[in-house]
Structure 1
Amino acid sequence: MRIIKARDYDEVSRKAANIIFSVMTEKPDCVLGLATGSSPVGIYKELVRRYEEGDLDFSKVTTVNLDEYKGLDREDPQSYAYYMRENLFSHVNIRSEKTFLPDGREADSQKACEAYNQILRQAGRQDIQLLGIGHDGHIGFNEPADHFPKETHCVDLAESTIEANARFFESREQVPTQAYTMGIQNIMAAKQILMVANGKGKAKILKEAFQGPITPQIPASILQLHPNVILVADEEALSEMESC
């Protein structure tokens, strides 16, 4: 694993965007695995800025997102489809038919998951997969469990995840309790994985994930087995990791 230290969130975002920029420059028709939440917002702003300056072209890019809430329409402001349009897709020249997320509108979980697995197979391996990390070590919506889920599946969100996501909703009661998410196998298929983290609150889990045992109780720990992982994090987030 390669660790890149940054001063703060803004520098984390710039350095992570540099890595994605390099992938897109080397392979204009790359497959980008994308994430949502607060961590990637700065990255997407930086990529939009570079597009506006004429340095990036999204016209041949395919994107596959990690997850989507079950039960939310794509036009719902809290859906990840809406998030992606607001933060990236509507600001660049990407083709909408080449942007993919699980279909939160599909009530049949098996149907939704099988459909997204087929999309992932057709898209091919992600050239780079962007990840954040939850305080409990979840990646995507792969929560702590007794096994590592392989492919796209429907997950009951942990109480800690619901609490963490409540800030994006008007009330806690509005937070969906289920989501469709790529499985660990889907994530590990990426040629390169880019994780971003910032703040003291992520220090403990980063140490456990990357310097502790590999266990499905800390889903991110599986990344220790991936041959090409880059962690971009600020000094506070890295403060408990040895040799950082």
Structure 2
Amino acid sequence: MQIIHFNDWELLDAYAAQTIINKIQEKPDAVLGLATGSTPLGIYAKIIEAYRSKEVSFAKTTTVNLDEYVGLSAEHEQSYAYYMKRHLFSHIDILGDHYHLPNGLADNLEAECDRYDQLLEQNPIDIQLLGLGHNGHIGFNEPDTKLSAGTHAVQLKAETLEANARFFESAAEVPKMALTMGVGSILKAHTIILVVRGADKAEIVKQALTGPITTDIPASLLQTHPRVIVLLDREAGRKLK
């Protein structure tokens, strides 16, 4: 596991973006596993800058997202499909049938999870971008006595609902369920980039990266992966020796 500390968010974003850009330049048809939320916004902005300056093309690239809320359409402003179009896809040359997210409006959620797992099998992930939840979740894989390897529907924990409430007009509007890529699928990625910011994440960073491997902290399973790059701002990494 490679852990890199940054004093400046812009430098962190640039490093993460350049790692992804380097992969696309090396392998134009690479598969990217993408994340949402506030953590990757600066990274996506740097990627867009590189595309506009003609450093990189995504015309042959495929993307698969970690998760999507159950019950939100792709047109809903708080859906992850909408987020990805707003913050990345509408600004680069990726083809419309080359980016993928779980369908949170599927009539049969189990069948949708099976479909997404088949998609992941057909498109092995070269680089998976991850954030870290306050309770140690990655994707929407919440702490539990056991974790699902494949894509599955999950009831979101209270702390996750609270953290996501800032994106909605009221806490009552936050969907209580999501479809998420499983930990097993995440760990199949060739390279994983974990990005964490803020003093409020310092303790969970320490537990996830240096504590025991446990399903109570899903991110701790990243310790078992041979190619994890952890990018931390000064505050998030302050409890690491």
TM-score, normalised to structure 2, is 0.99
2-structure distance, mates of 1:107, 1:207: 40
Residue of structure 2 in register with 1:214 after alignment: 213
Conserved 8 A contact 1:157-1:179: yes
Separation in structure 1 between the aligned mates of residue 234 and residue 186 of structure 2, nearest angstrom: 26
User: 2:103 & 2:179 partners in 1: Cα distance?
Assistant: 8
1:89-113 Cα offsets, whole Å, 9 max, x none, are 0000000101000001113221111
Q: Are 2:61 and 1:49 aligned?
A: no
Partner of 1:60: 60
Question: Contact 1:207 / 1:241 at 8 angstroms: preserved in 2?
Answer: yes
Distance in structure 1 (CA, Å) of the matches to 2:138 and 2:74: 22
**What SS does structure 1 have at the residue aligned with 2:68?**
strand
**Aligned counterpart, 1:225:** 224
Aligned to 1:198: 197
2:150 alignment counterpart = 151
1:82 is matched with which residue? 82
CA distances 1:118-162 after superposition (whole Å, capped 9, x unpaired): 111122x11000000001000000000001210000000000000
Secondary structure at 1:193 match in 2 = strand
**Cα shift at 1:45:** 0.3
Aligned to 1:237: 236
| Aligned residue in 2 for 1:91 | 91
Aligned to 1:22: 22
Q: Is the 8 A contact 1:13 1:43 kept in 2?
A: yes
Q: Does the CA-based 8 Å contact 1:71-1:107 persist in structure 2?
A: no
Q: Which runs of 5+ in 2 are unaligned?
A: none
CA distance in 2, matches of 1:12, 1:169: 27
Q: Name the CA distance, whole Å, in 1 between partners of 2:159 and 2:218.
A: 15
In structure 2, how many angstroms separate the alpha carbons of the residues matched to 1:161 and 1:3?
A: 25
**SS of alignment partner, residue 38 of structure 1:** coil
1:67-216 alignment, distance < 5 Å? 67-123=67-123, 125-216=124-215
1:2-54 C-alpha deviation (Å, 9 max, x unpaired): 01111132222111111111111111110000000000000000000000000
Q: Is the 8 A contact 1:8 1:198 kept in 2?
A: no
Q: Output the amino acid matched with 1:240.
A: K
AA at the equivalent of 2:89: F
Question: Matched residues in 1 for 2:159 and 2:191: separation?
Answer: 28
SS at match of 1:96: coil
CA distance in 1, matches of 2:27, 2:4: 23
3-state SS of the aligned residue for 2:77? coil
Count of matched residue pairs: 241
Q: Distance in 2 between matches of 1:39 and 1:8?
A: 14
Contact 1:75 1:82 in 2 (8 A): yes
